[in-house]
Structure 1
Amino acid sequence: MPILLIAPWASLLREQLPLSLVLSSSALLAAALLLQLAGSGLRSDARRAAFEALCWGLLAAGLLSLLVSLIQVFLPEVPDGHWIARSGIPGRAVGSMRQPNHLASLLMWACVATVYLVDAGRLGAKAERIVLPALLFGFVFAIVLSASRTGMLGVLMLAAWGGLDRKLQRGSRLALLATPLMLALAWWGVSAWASAGHHAFGAESRLAEGAGSPSRLAILANAWELLKRNPWLGVGWGEFNLAWTMTPFPNRPIAFFDHTHNLPMQLAVELGLPLSLTMLALLGWALWWALRASMRASGSDAVVRRCAVLLVLTIGLHSLLEYPLWYAYFLMPAAFAFGIALAPLEPAPSGGSSALKRLLGAGGALLLAGSLFAVWDYLQVVAIYVPPEEATPLSQRIAVGQRSLFFSTQADYAAATTLPPGPQALAATQRTAHNLIDARLMVAWARSLHAVGDDDRARYVVQRLREFRGSEYAQLTAECEAPPAEAKAVRSFQCDPPQRDYEWREMRR
């Protein structure tokens, strides 16, 4: 984690990553490091109490997500988009995070938290006989509703945990071993309901795609090509989207990706092989140490450590297929759980513990103040896209948003796509392109390059847009297909190919 703190600043110097993206990444990584230190610095009793509090929170989040999932699938007309999120995927639950895989990972965490609370006796003396199986079935049922293939693989991980961990209570182990049967029963029930009422069942169509998503396999292949071209230092922290979009890939997936959907590949392509392999080796060693510590620990501390390791492993599985750790609501609990799993088996000296408490207390106060500021800072940008009553003119709201400390690139997107093509819109485009590029931005980028007289780069952007095979390209070049009698006297810039390919770094200026 400390190594990663340097990466955004190196990208600022080497790749011109906007300062707002550097600050937001650095703040997120520093907060995660603080939580990891907090988890590893707690003594046994405090560690158990802190982990129990985390598990209560995860259980509550899991139960609320189960309720939302049931409503989204069985009562899709009820969600209003405010109190309960609407699902944009017929027949699938997306939870309040609006992503099926994120919902499934949260439910997996809720399963682990429930096992801990039952094993620690916090849900009743006989909870492993009734409460645990009931809660696990509910969470597994919601995973089926999400149709997340990652979540279904996670259920097998739960069963493996039940088979291997002999320090759990017998009832807890049996409940975990039964989770694949719960998965099959939930699948059969939802499938029967869907067939009887002609409802959509997202899991059937999702699994029909196969074990791997073709678009994700394609993005991994593209990332591998980028890595081969930048093996030593990578493309720079936070620069994958820009590098990938502005590099010719005729067979690219047509969706716009801002991550490789695989944590090792993401680190490799952005940081280069030497640094990424060093980091992955250190991470693997730390995980192995945590596993050994959980096996050597005894009593209640062993259960705490093993459940903490399971939280890390489940989100680690997700990180091989998605990028959940780029979201604070996954990164922060994962960092804290990893810290707990890495805590020394021997109690820390009292003097060091007091010093750490003072450091963590100051860091916690700073984190709280920073979080409140980040909310306020974000609202300055939200006003651009969701204007309040009696809002100021759009240009003024954009100007305010562009002064945001953490989120100015989102305001730059609004400027790039709403201002008339020209130098000001082009500058905003080149800044926000470090964040996320989509078809609308590429059209605005090409028009602004043309407006400042850089037609060849404008044509290069149009050629990259063509690879995504979307309607925006067809609309932009529609006049190029006009019959000779209707053709303009002066041929439009987008109708001709560029004279050469541009290296993606050339498109930043």
Structure 2
Amino acid sequence: MPLNIQKTAITFRFAFATLCWVLAWLFPYAEGGVPDLQSQVFMLLMLVLGALALGMARLHSLVWLGMGLASWVLWSTVNPYLGTKLAGISGMCLLGIACAVGASLRLQPRKQEVFLYAVVLAASINALQGLLQWFDLTGELYRWMSVPEQRGTAYGALRQRNLFATFLCVGLLCTLWLVYLRKLTSSMAWLVVALLTQGVAASGSRTGLLQVIVIAVLGVYWWRALPRMLAYLMVGQLLLLAAWSAWLPIAARLHGFEFVTGVGRVAQTAQDTRLVIWRNAINLILERPWFGWGWRELPYGRYNTVMDPYYHGLLDHAHNLPLQLAVELGLPITCLLGIGSLYGLYKGKFWRSDGLDTYGRAEPGTGRQFAWGILVLIVGVHSMLEYPLWSFGFLFLSGVAVGYLMPMVHINPAHRVVNGLHKALSLGCAAAILGLGSLAWVQYERLKPIYKTPFTNNIELKRSYLNVALERASDAWLFQGALDFATLTNYDINPSNAMQVRHLAEKLLHFSPEPVVVLPLLQSLWITGDFDALRYHGNRFCQAYPEYPQLWRRRGSMNPMTVFMLKNVDHCTS
């Protein structure tokens, strides 16, 4: 191939990878019963397409072995819904692809620039969207961006303030990385940092505030190893955040609404609900310490366990990564992962500003401290308070950082079979994700009509419409939980179908143990006369949703089932 054509092809590949990775963070639409699902599927597809365009390097065989074992554990879980298992396995495949991308960034500096520019551009666009949302200036842009319900809310295209703030903080680190590589001028860097810190301040995220502080602390720690301007940027971004946090409440009052910054939210928080959530998670771990409750079974475990205090309402995450893994996979696997992570920290020598290749030789000037910084923000800070790794985007960013920090693998051209096998693993994972993601997109499009029932008081008309929609979406097996959920809500429970309702509701407890599921279960148990099971589930229902027995008492309910529960079920009588 002529040299000029080869250069053009490489430029096109890199431009396409940049476009895919930027678009991955900008999907604006949220429809159906699972609003974030389409954005996650779109993000998954774009991230993998970008990885294929940029190219992936070879990983150590142990990495693929670990991914395979993790996928086997997820496949073996007790969760009855196949789509839930496949989502977790897709995450493992994406993590492997991201590690391969991260390894390739070490081999070709130009690829590193493509990745960093894509993240900075996506973060900057999200910050601009967040500020437009905060000032209620979206206007006609509502077709291309999310619009919050009230002013003073900023979350960009991520629809959650902490995820938004964390992504902007990762954008801050990537901006600093570009300055370190001398690919961004200091004046342009200050402009980007000012924009991103204003977005973090507008989010009102305490997690974002903590992450900016961490970046400043890292700047002080690496002061001697970094260029002076870079150290000034790392410390100065904290001062910029403080300035924006002081100015935004004033701007809010001038525009006629109230706004509490991350600093203000920290000051207002006396006893965070996370403490109750963590105590609940510890109780669940003690119930099943060895093998856990199963992948994505934390909501079912919380519903199924009587404990005090109890976090009321729906909750599908422990807001702490080690606790989440221990609840769902058990203490042995969690401890093994923890020991492996600590060993990786020790071998990686994160306190050094140079890297080590396979033979222990120093690789100065790689900027590896910024890859460590990304892991500190996503895994070390956010994952201890929230659940960013359940988002494909943050899983990808973490994987790229891990792959970048791994020792470089020496490739022997003579080992063609081994080299071909490693390449086939990467491409096979990418092909599987693209196929499964495309199928999920198509099936969700078929599923969406079940969430668009006519706005009418005619119950029969609603049921007729829903029956037709369910029949058309019956082959959407990836979303069997959503189909079962809609089917349950469409039942008119009577003695002829009570047993069928019971079995379906008991299965749906693994999907979402909310009142819409539990109340039909209680009614079916009452009709079938299984009063022991009624006491069991009634006790757990009243523990999780104490407002229901209170409502029954206020209304003086004469329903035989609720009267029985108010008299004979522990948490309903108190």
Q: TM-score, normalised by structure 2?
A: 0.76
Instruction: Please report how far the alpha carbon of residue 224 of structure 1 lies from its aligned counterpart in structure 2 after TM superposition.
Output: 0.9
Partner residue, 1:234: 292
| One-letter amino acid of the structure 1 residue matched with residue 173 of structure 2 | V
> 1 CA distance for matches of 2:140 and 2:287?
47
| Aligned residues with identical type, % of pairs | 23
Matches within 5 A, 1:249-398: 249-292=307-350, 295-297=353-355, 302-316=365-379, 317-344=381-408, 347-350=410-413, 351=415, 355-386=421-452, 393-398=465-470
Moved more, 412-421 or 217-226: 412-421
For the pair 1:176 / 2:234, whether they are aligned, the reply is yes
Q: Quick check: 1:79–1:86 contact (8 Å CA) kept in 2?
A: no
Letter in 1 for 2:317: H
Supply the distance in 2 between the matched residues of 1:179 and 1:92 (Cα, whole angstroms).
22
Does the 8 Å contact 2:105/2:111 carry over to 1?
no
The change in CA–CA distance for 1:304 and 1:418 in structure 2 (over 3 A counts) is farther
SS in 1 for 2:199: helix
CA contact (8 A) 1:141 1:183 kept: yes
More displaced, 213-222 or 193-202?
Answer: 193-202
CA distance in 2, matches of 1:191, 1:396: 51
The 3 A distance-change label for structure 1 pair 79 and 330 is: farther
| Helix, strand or coil at the partner of 1:362 | helix
Given the superposition, is the C-alpha separation of residues 338 and 190 from structure 1 closer, same or farther in structure 2, using an over 3 Å criterion?
Answer: same
**Separation (CA, whole Å) in 1 of partners of 2:82 and 2:515:** 24
Structure 2 residue aligned with 1:115, among 176, 196, 200?
Answer: 176
Corresponding residue SS for 1:95: coil
Among 388, 402, 419, the residue aligned to 2:491: 419
In the alignment, is the contact (CA less than 8 A) between 1:144 and 1:183 conserved in 2?
Answer: yes
Cα pair 1:401 1:407 within 8 Å, conserved: no
Counterpart CA distance in 1 for 2:258 and 2:140 is 17
Counterpart contact for 2:130–2:156, Cα < 8 Å = yes
Residue of structure 2 in register with 1:504 after alignment: none
Query: Contact 1:456 / 1:499 at 8 angstroms: preserved in 2?
Result: no
Deviations 1:189-220 (A, max 9, x none): 11222344442113265223337x62211011
Residues 236 and 488 (structure 1), Cα distance of their counterparts in 2 relative to 1, 3 Å cut = closer
- CA separation of 1:145 and 1:444: change in aligned 2, threshold 3 A: farther
User: Which amino acid counterpart does residue 497 of structure 1 have in structure 2?
Assistant: N
1:7 aligns with one of 73, 84, 109: 73
Match of 1:393, SS state, is helix
Distance in structure 2 (CA, Å) of the matches to 1:400 and 1:45:
50
Distance 1:454 1:95, change over 3 A: farther
Report how many aligned residue pairs link the two structures: 483
Distance in 2, Cα, partners of 1:236 & 1:370: 22
- Does the 8 A contact of 2:249 with 2:259 survive in 1? yes
Are the counterparts in 2 of residues 105 and 315 from structure 1 also a CA contact under 8 Å?
yes
**Measured at CA, do residues 114 and 337 of structure 1 come closer, stay the same or move farther in structure 2, by a change above 3 Å?**
same
> What is the rounded CA distance, in whole Å, between the counterparts of 1:426 and 1:164 in structure 2?
59
How many angstroms apart in 1 are the aligned matches of 2:71 and 2:200? 34
Q: 1:53: Cα distance to partner?
A: 2.4
Query: For residues 173 and 272 of structure 2, what CA distance do their matches in structure 1 show?
Result: 31
**2:106/2:112 contact within 8 Å kept:** no
2:268 alignment partner, SS class:
coil
- 1:94 corresponds in structure 2 to 155
Change (3 A) 1:138 1:489: closer
Quick check: 1:381–1:404 contact (8 Å CA) kept in 2?
Answer: yes
The answer as to whether partners of 2:489 and 2:516 remain within 8 angstroms in 1 is yes
Residues 227 and 272, structure 1, Cα contact 8 Å, conserved in 2: yes
SS of equivalent to 2:70: helix
Q: Which moved more, 1:79-88 or 1:432-441?
A: 79-88
- 1:235-287 CA distance string (max 9 Å, x none): 22221110111211343122311111100111112222222111111122223
Deviation at 1:27, TM superposition (A): 2.3
Q: Aligned partners of 1:83 and 1:491: how far apart in 2?
A: 48
Match of 2:203 among 143, 146, 156: 146
Distance 2:333 2:76 in 1: 13
Give the drift of 1:77: 6.8
1: CA distance, partners of 2:560 / 2:302: 36
Of the candidates 419, 424, 428, which is equivalent to residue 504 of structure 2?
428
Q: Residue 187 of structure 1 aligns with which residue? A: 245
- Counterpart Cα distance in 1 of 2:538 and 2:411: 60
Once the two structures are TM-superposed, the CA of residue 492 in structure 1 deviates from its matched residue by 4.5
Question: 1:396: how far off?
Answer: 3.6
342 and 434 in structure 1: CA distance in 2 versus 1, 3 angstrom threshold: same
> Helix, strand or coil for the counterpart of 1:255?
coil
CA distance in structure 1 between the partners assigned to 2:533 and 2:167 by the alignment: 44
Q: What is residue 114 of structure 2 aligned with on the other side? A: 53
Q: Distance in 2 between matches of 1:89 and 1:469?
A: 28
The normalised TM-score by structure 1 is: 0.85
Deviation of 1:305 after TM superposition, in Å, equals 2.6
Distance change >3 Å, CA 194–CA 439, structure 1 → 2: same
Note the C-alpha offset of 1:157: 1.4
How far, CA to CA, are the matches of 1:72 and 1:460 in structure 2? 46
- Structure 2: which amino acid aligns with 1:31? L
Alpha-carbon contact 1:384-1:394 (below 8 Å) kept: yes
**2-side partners of 1:294 and 1:49: how far apart?**
23
Q: Which residue of 2 aligns with 1:506?
A: none
How far 1:309 sits from its partner (Å)?
Answer: 2.0
Q: Which runs of 5+ in 1 are unaligned?
A: 502-509
Alignment check: 8 A CA contact 2:176 2:233 kept: no
State yes or no: 1:26 paired with 2:97. Answer: no
Q: Does 1:75 align with 2:118?
A: no
Q: Distance in 1 between matches of 2:397 and 2:564?
A: 51
Which residue in 1 is equivalent to 2:167?
A: 106
Q: Which amino acid aligns with 2:221?
A: L
Q: Give 1:183 deviation, angstroms.
A: 1.4
Q: Distance in 2 between matches of 1:136 and 1:429?
A: 50
Provide, for residues 420-453 of structure 1, a one-character-per-residue CA deviation record: whole Å limited to 9, x for no partner. 2334443333333213322333223322333443
SS at match of 1:92: coil
In the other structure, the counterpart of 2:212 is 155
Q: Bigger shift: 308-317 or 365-374?
A: 365-374
Shift of 1:478: 5.5
Q: Which amino acid aligns with 1:338?
A: V
AA aligned to 1:394 is: L
CA pair 281-171 structure 1, distance change in 2 beyond 3 A:
same
SS at structure 1 position matched to 2:77: helix
Change beyond 3 A, Cα 1:409–1:402:
farther
Mapped to 2, the partners of 1:224 and 1:148 lie a distance apart of 26
Shift >6 Å, 4+ stretches: 298-301, 488-491
Structure 1 residue 66 displacement after superposition: 1.0
Structure 1 contact 110–139 (Cα < 8 Å) conserved: yes
Moved more, 174-183 or 349-358: 349-358
1:206 and 2:265 correspond: yes
Instruction: Give unmatched runs, 5+ long, in structure 2.
Output: 1-65, 357-361, 455-461
| Residues 294 and 338 (structure 1), Cα distance of their counterparts in 2 relative to 1, 3 Å cut | farther
**1:392-417, Cα deviation, whole Å (9 max, x unpaired):** 93124334545434322122222222
8 Å contact from structure 2 (residues 354, 367) kept in 1: no
Aligned to 2:52: none
Q: Which amino acid in 2 is paired with 1:140?
A: T
Question: Which structure 2 residues correspond to residues 479-498 of structure 1 after superposition, within 5 A?
Answer: 481=556, 487=558, 492-498=563-569
SS, match of residue 366 in structure 2: helix
Query: Partners in 1 of 2:141 and 2:192 — Cα distance?
Result: 27
1:135 corresponds in structure 2 to 192
